[in-house]
Amino acid sequence: MIMNTASNAWQNLKQHSRDMKNTTLNQLFECDADRFNRFSVCLDDFLVDYSKNLLTDETMALLAQLAIKSNLVERINEMFSGSAINISENRAALHTLLRASKPTSPSGMNIERLKQVQESLSKMTTFAEGIQSGKLTGSTGKPFKNILHIGVGGSVLGPSMAVKALAPYSKNAIAIQFVTNVDGADLHDKMSNLDPETTLILIASKTFLTQETMLNARSARTWITKALGTKSVGNHFAALSSNLKQTEEFGILPERHFELWDWVGGRYSLWSAIGLPILISIGSENFRQLLSGAHQLDNHFRNCSLEKNIPVILGLISIWHRSILGYKSHAIIPYDQRLELLIAHIQQLQMESNGKSINRDGSKIPTDSSGVIWGEVGTNAQHSFFQLLHQGSDIIPCDFLIAANAHHDLQHHHETLIANCFAQSQALMKGRNLEETKTHLRKKGLLQADIERIAPHATFPGNRPSTTILYKKLDPKTLGMLIATYEHKTFVEGVVWNINSFDQWGVELGKELANQVLAAVKTEPAPSELDRSTSGLIDQIKSFQKAIN
Active site residues: 352, 383, 511
In whole angstroms, give the CA distance from residue 356 to residue 363: 11
- DSSP class per residue in 160-175: HHHHHHTGGG--S--E
**Residue 356, Cα to own-chain centre: how many angstroms?**
17
In whole angstroms, give the CA distance from residue 546 to residue 549: 5
Q: Quick check: bond before 140 cis, omega within 30?
A: no
In whole angstroms, give the CA distance from residue 194 to residue 470: 39
How many CB atoms are closer than 10 A to CB 13? 21
8 Å CB contact between 260 and 206: yes
What distances in angstroms separate CA 307 from CA 8, 9, 313, 315, 344, one per listed residue? Answer: 20, 17, 7, 12, 29
- Residue in 59, 468, 476 with CA at minimum distance from that of residue 270: 476
8 Å CB contact between 199 and 140: no
In whole angstroms, give the CA distance from residue 294 to residue 104: 14
- Residue in 540, 536, 530, 505 with CA at minimum distance from that of residue 88: 505
Name the DSSP letter for residue 383. G
8 Å CB contact between 158 and 204: no
What distances in angstroms separate CA 364 from CA 1, 16, 66, 149, 350, one per listed residue? Answer: 13, 25, 19, 39, 19
Beta bridge partners of 72: none
Strands 199-204 and 237-241 turn out to be parallel
8 Å CB contact between 419 and 379: no
In whole angstroms, give the CA distance from residue 478 to residue 46: 7
Element (H, E) at 139: none
8 Å CB contact between 291 and 528: no
In whole angstroms, give the CA distance from residue 519 to residue 526: 9
8 Å CB contact between 492 and 72: yes
3 state SS for 41-97: EEECCEEEECCCCCCCHHHHHHHHHHHHHCCHHHHHHHHHHCCCCECCCCECCCHHH
8 Å CB contact between 70 and 1: yes
Q: Given phi > 0 = left and psi -120 to 50 = alpha, else beta, which region is 437?
A: alpha
